[in-house]
Amino acid sequence: MQASLSAAAATQLQQAAQPSSGNPLLAIGAFLLMLGILVVVHELGHFLTAIWMGIKVEEFGIGYPPRALTLFERNGVKYTLNWLPLGGFVRFANSDDSAQDALYGAGGSLAAAPPWRKIAVMVAGPLMNLILAMLIFAVIFMAMGIPSPTGNQTISEVFADTPAAQGGLRPDDVLLSLDGRPVGSAAVIGEIARANPGQPVEAVVLRDGHELTLTLTPGPWTAPDGTQYPSGFGFSYAPQIEQMQVGPLAAMGRGVTYSLELTGRMLQALASLPGSILGIFSPTPSPDGEPIGPVGIARATGEVIQQPGGFAAFWNLTAVLSLNLFLLNLLPIPALDGSHIVFSLIEWLRGGKKVPPEKEALVHAIGFAALMGLMLLITVNDVINAFNGTPVLGGG
């Protein structure tokens, strides 16, 4: 399992967290806790499924070798800590060990197991990450409620010298209606502005618990970035959200659906991943953000854990990263679970005829070397961003 966060996953966090500076030891401790949870859960999926399938496991490792220490040994399995904190692994019995095959049968080693058993073992790790994310979101929803739009819009910013500013609109006002129409759909605001250039319209807002009626006259205005609008109001807004308290079953259901929704967004955003990686070499930042590695994840953890509501934000980050690992590990990238699944499918389709082990091993070795090289590149970029004070989750 690789500890990295794609740009697609990082984007999901930017609206939920604001950067903050604070105790780096707290950030490192929180990061190690998060990484430990994700690694153990992922590798437990492989480990428990292998045991269930009658496949011999020799080592359950947290981190990548060289080995730091053996925690303990039980039933022939060594549980170890390793020096490279980039993920974890389960080491299966050697396929050439006839003594192991005699003890555990034809399925004693993973290589000797039928293809469907190999696929089950490989899928189990990422699947555990998906289940973990669903459970975390379910607990968050049960404790804090399910976010539900009220049908109103919260004014986040009113730009200077615009119709909104001239009409008396203020940040944090809640827009209840505009020109007599509800504003549950954000598109309504733009439609009303374009339909009434120079014509005053009524805006009903909630301010400090009191309803007010303002008069706004849509007209031309220029945004801070220089964009010119021929007819508009000149304010930014977002749906007003209230937390709806629910029971355990509803929270679990929402945890499942929300996890699947986020996974879908990440999958759609994967098309931008090559450009995000190339953006590391470019002086112009990628509009889709950049992938981050262990250093970036540690900094992101520090940013969310030290803000108001940091405890919930920490678990939200853990869940998003778990979904990221679920998706990335299923991709057919050499050395990751998805690549092993592809080779097992090829073996299955060929009626049990395997790809020559030396060729498969070469593919995984090259893939692992490439992944480590990419991880090094991303880590260097993370360190540069850290020295420059660039926040991971946006803002400034």
pLDDT in tens, 338-366: 888 999 999 999 888 888 878 877 887 78
Query: What pLDDT score does 298 carry?
Result: 64
Euclidean distance between CA atoms 157 and 236, whole angstroms: 5
The stretch 16-44 carries a mean pLDDT of 74
Read off the tokens for 195: 């339909």
Neighbours of 308 (CB within 10 A): 8
Query: What pLDDT score does 7 carry?
Result: 44
Which residues 6+ apart lie within 8 Å of 347 measured at CB? 115, 118, 353, 354, 355
Euclidean distance between CA atoms 254 and 246, whole angstroms: 10
91 DSSP β-pair partners: 59
Could you tell me which of 236, 237, 204, 234 has the C-alpha nearest to residue 222?
234
* 314 pLDDT tier (thresholds 50, 70, 90): confident
Does the pLDDT value for residue 281 go beyond 50?
no
Contact 86, 2 (CB under 8 A): yes
Euclidean distance between CA atoms 319 and 297, whole angstroms: 13
Does the pLDDT value for residue 320 go beyond 80?
yes
214 DSSP β-pair partners: 203
Centroid of chain to Cα 378 = 17
pTM over 0.95: no
Euclidean distance between CA atoms 80 and 279, whole angstroms: 37
Query: What pLDDT score does 319 carry?
Result: 92
The stretch 374-389 carries a mean pLDDT of 68
The stretch 330-344 carries a mean pLDDT of 87
CATH number for the 146-244 domain, one of 2.30.42.10, 3.30.70.1450, 3.90.1150.10, 3.50.50.100?
2.30.42.10
* 182 pLDDT tier (thresholds 50, 70, 90): very high
Contact 169, 207 (CB under 8 A): no
The stretch 98-105 carries a mean pLDDT of 36
Contact 138, 85 (CB under 8 A): no
DSSP for 106-133, please give it.
TTSSTTTS-HHHHHHHHHHHHHHHHHHH
Q: Of 6-10, 30-34, 177-181, 200-204, which range is least confident?
A: 6-10
Q: Structural domain boundaries of the chain?
A: 7-144+248-388, 146-244
The stretch 209-228 carries a mean pLDDT of 90
Read off the tokens for 112: 């000797």
Which residues 6+ apart lie within 8 Å of 103 measured at CB? 56
Contact 155, 175 (CB under 8 A): yes
Which residues 6+ apart lie within 8 Å of 340 measured at CB? 118, 122, 364
Neighbours of 75 (CB within 10 A): 6
368 DSSP β-pair partners: none
Read off the tokens for 144: 């804090």
Coil, strand or helix: which one is 68? strand
